[in-house]
Copies of this chain bind each other. A is one copy, B any other.
Amino acid sequence: MMKTKQQRGVDFYLDPGETLRAGPGFRLDAVDPESTPGYDGRKADGARHLDRQDARLDDLQERLFAASKGGSDQRVLLVLQAMDTAGKGGIVSHVVGTMDPQGVHLKAFKAPTDQEKAHDFLWRIEKEVPEAGMVGVFDRSHYEDVLIHRVHGWADEAELERRYAAINDFESRLMEQGTTLVKVMLHISKDEQKDRLLARLHDPAKHWKYTTNDLAERGFWDDYQAAFQIMLEKTSTAAAPWHVIPANRKWYARIAVQQLLIDALERIGPQWPAADFDVDEQIAAVSAS
């Protein structure tokens, strides 16, 4: 499974699917948010790496889209979860944003509306799952219902247990329909969050990104870490594992997510569909038109 850096055609060895997977016995508090597992380059190397791999990701995404026109049911769903300021937005703009918008379905889930609250928590999620050929991206997701809900006690233990099971069933069904799930938790340290909140507060062009609620939620830091740990234990399955990405270094988190998407698409191996018409006949007809 592992490839050398030469096989990958890049300068550094990076296999986040292996190194960052939250497998059995995984401990979130053992992950150093400053680290860059599997990558021995620096920031400038990482930026170059990201640029160089853009074209590969874009090509694979176009092939996925094209394959669906030929009848393939394959699709990808990237799920992003993280503490505030961990860099979900940067992943969307710098990694997702390099793909053709025509093949991407992005959904940022906010606090549910009254109508959404009147339904099961997966009701609003189901409506946003990607069609065949698409790369879906969830900026927050159904996992909020076992994270913020656990932290604030909006659901009791029995209900949370029901939700973990419902999520695993739901994701199994998505996979049966041809979805490859890429589940990513961006992991920053509490100090790093402080620095990033302060940076927003010191820049008037970033004030709109800040709310006083960010500080209130920060007060529940340890509870969130515990909720993430349980989420990982309950829902990091063999078929749909979580990847915990150290994210104090934004450039590292971006190349890691980019590589996870590339690897997912390479596993699918989408092919240009064969023409369902006689090519020579059409060339003659168009030439004569």
- Minimum distance in angstroms from A8 CB to a CB of chain B: 23
The residues of B that contact A219 with a CB separation of less than 8 Å are 289
Which of A15-23, A31-39, A171-179, A280-288 lies at the binding interface?
A: A280-288
Interface centre among A96, A279, A289 (most CB of B within 10 A): A289
C-alpha gap A279/B205 in the complex (Å): 13
Assess the B101–A201 pair: CB atoms within 8 A: no
- Minimum distance in angstroms from A230 CB to a CB of chain B: 24
- Minimum distance in angstroms from A264 CB to a CB of chain B: 18
A contacts with B: majority SS = helix
C-alpha gap A163/B139 in the complex (Å): 38
C-alpha gap A69/B206 in the complex (Å): 11
Q: Which of A247-287 contact B (CB under 8 A)?
A: 272-275, 277, 279, 282-283, 285-287
Interface residue tally of chain A, by bracket?
Answer: 35 or more
- Minimum distance in angstroms from A41 CB to a CB of chain B: 26
Assess the B218–A283 pair: CB atoms within 8 A: no
Instruction: Kindly identify which residue among B69, B104, B197, B286 contacts A208, using a CB–CB cutoff of 8 Å.
Output: B69
The residues of B that contact A116 with a CB separation of less than 8 Å are none
Assess the A89–B102 pair: CB atoms within 8 A: yes
**Chain B proximity mask over A39-79: 1 for CB below 8 Å, otherwise 0:** 00000000000000000000000000010011000000000
Assess the B69–A273 pair: CB atoms within 8 A: no
- Minimum distance in angstroms from A133 CB to a CB of chain B: 10
C-alpha gap A89/B137 in the complex (Å): 21
- Minimum distance in angstroms from A28 CB to a CB of chain B: 21
Closest to A100 in B: B93
